[in-house]
Amino acid sequence: MSATVLTVIVNYKSAEMALKSAQAAERAMAGIDGAITIVDNDSQDGSYDYLRDHTGGMPRVQVLQSGHNGGFGSGNNIAIRGGLPDGRQPDFIYLLNPDAFPDADAITLLREHLLQNPQTGFVGSAVEGEDGTPHEVAFRFPSVWSEFEAAANTGIITRMLYKYRVPVGFPQSTCRVDWCTGASVMFRRATLDQIGLFDETFFLYFEETELCHRAWAAGWGGAYLPQAKVMHIGSASTGMQQWTRVPRYWFDSRAHYFRKTGGAGYLVLATLSYMLGASIWKLRRVVERKEDRIPPHFLRDLVACTFQTLMPGAAATRGRAGA
């Protein structure tokens, strides 16, 4: 069986870092048949020219211009549809953030896992920060129960609902997971051929969650491989660490995920569940004089977006504020 790999990096106003990511991926693809595609998501800051100029000596790297910033999923779809530069379709597609840098054996380990486990549709790697701190990258699917548990942030509730918590922690051995972060995950092309590519309704966040949900629904499993390691700076391109208010597109993505996977009623139930959990947290905060962990305006924005999403024509008029 052939085992070609297409590594995809979507850049948005982080060209220098994306180049370093491509260089790390090129080293990690030594001995692997395949290529690296960098998609510039219409950065309009010279990123495309910079990347074209600085990858001239990297024959396995191609740089594409999306022509519009359609978000993470849209950028990846452009590269996946294009395939390898020579016209072949790859056997595996490795998604890598522009601020992520795989170890020399990471891509090989992910590919080998998929080769050895034909019913596995995707596999994610371990991800660490610059200081070696592990990042949570292996997850369960969000649910009504996970929304309540996350919002309540209370020990007894977390213990009762532990099996519904979205993060699974930091597994020390290979294990099955519902979904992995898009910062470093490899998909089997046959899986994507069956279930389709990213839903481009999502601008940012929840898109890989929903894609993995479709994979599981179609009978493909997902795995987490801690032996494969990637260093990730984190939020370099999204600016998440500098958010003063959660942007509208996060709420839009959450609403679309719950509605698509469970229906309009499930979306409402998930939001009500979060609000119930948040009321428990707010009471704890007052009694125990804790600092608030829920961002400013979050609850109001959550409720407003949920019900705006359910209004007729909402999908056609939904904004992308902050994108």
Q: Tell me: the pLDDT tens digits for 204-241?
A: 999 999 999 999 999 999 999 999 999 999 665 555 55
Q: How far apart are alpha carbons 43 and 263 in whole angstroms?
A: 35
CATH pick for 5-121+180-216 out of 1.10.3980.10, 3.40.309.10, 3.90.550.10, 2.60.120.260: 3.90.550.10
Please tell me whether residue 36 adopts helix, strand or coil conformation: strand
- Checking if the pLDDT of 202 tops 50, the result is yes
Q: How far apart are alpha carbons 184 and 232 in whole angstroms?
A: 9
* Confidence band, pLDDT 50/70/90 cuts, at residue 244: confident
- In the chain, % helix, strand, coil (3-state, to 5) comes to 45, 20, 40
Q: Where are the alpha helices (DSSP H) in 56-152?
A: 72-82, 106-116, 144-152
**CB-CB neighbours of 243 under 10 Å:** 13
Report the amino acid identity of residue 155: G
Contact criterion met (CB below 8 Å) for 146 and 165: yes
* Confidence band, pLDDT 50/70/90 cuts, at residue 156: very high
**Phi, psi at 218, each rounded to 5°:** -90, 0
pLDDT (0 to 100) of residue 243: 61
Eight-state DSSP code of residue 178? S
Tokens encoding 237:
């391109």
Enumerate the domain spans of the chain.
Answer: 5-121+180-216, 243-317
pLDDT (0 to 100) of residue 74: 97
Q: Tell me: the pLDDT tens digits for 265-305?
A: 999 999 999 999 999 999 999 998 888 889 899 999 999 99
Distances (CA, A) of 138 to 61, 154, 176, 218: 29, 22, 9, 20
Our measurement of the distance from residue 46's CA atom to the centroid of its chain's CA atoms, rounded to an integer in Å, reads 25
Element (H, E) at 221: strand 221-232
Rounded to an integer, the average pLDDT of 43-65 is 96
**CB-CB neighbours of 48 under 10 Å:** 21
